[in-house]
Amino acid sequence: MSNSFFARLRRRYHGRPTQEERRRFLQATLASTAGLFLSERFANQSRAAQAVGAKRVVVIGAGYSGLACAHELHAAGYKVTVVEARDRLGGRVLTFKDMVDKKWCEGGGELIGENHPTWVRYAKQFELELIEMTDDETLAYPVHLMGKLRSEEEVEKIYEEMEAAFTSLNEAADKIDADEPWKSPDAIALDKQNLADWIKGLEVSDLSRLAIDIQLASDNAVDNAQASKLGMLTAIKGGGGQDYWDKSETHRCQGGNQQLALRLAEMVGADRIRLKLPVENVALKEDRAIVTCADGRTIECDDVVLAAPPSTWDRITFSPELPSNIRTQMGIACKHLSVVKSRFWLETKHSQYSLADGDVSQTWEGTDNQPDPPPGEVFVAFSGANQARRSLAREGDAREAAYKAELTKIYPAYPENVTSTRMMAWPKDQWTKAGYSFPAPGQVTAIGPTYYKGLGRLHFAGEHTCYKFVGYMEGGLNSGASLARRLAKRDGVG
Binding-site entries for FAD:
65, 84-85, 279
Question: For residue 290, what are the contacts with CB-CB under 8 A and spacing of at least 6?
Answer: 281, 282, 283, 298, 299, 300, 301
d(CA 90, CA 472): 14
Question: For residue 194, what are the contacts with CB-CB under 8 A and spacing of at least 6?
Answer: 224, 225, 226, 227, 228, 229, 441
Residue 310: which of 429, 180, 434, 427 has the closest Cα? 434
Annotated binding-site ranges? 65, 84-85, 279, 382
Residue 281, strand partner residues: 292, 317
SS3 335: strand
Annotated binding-site ranges for substrate? 382
d(CA 209, CA 320): 46
CA trace torsion 24, 237, 130, 417 (10° rounding): -130
* Cβ neighbours around 462 below 10 Å, total: 30
SS3 54: coil
Assess contact for 336 and 379: CB atoms under 8 A: no
Dihedral angle sign, alpha carbons of residues 447, 451, 454, 455: positive
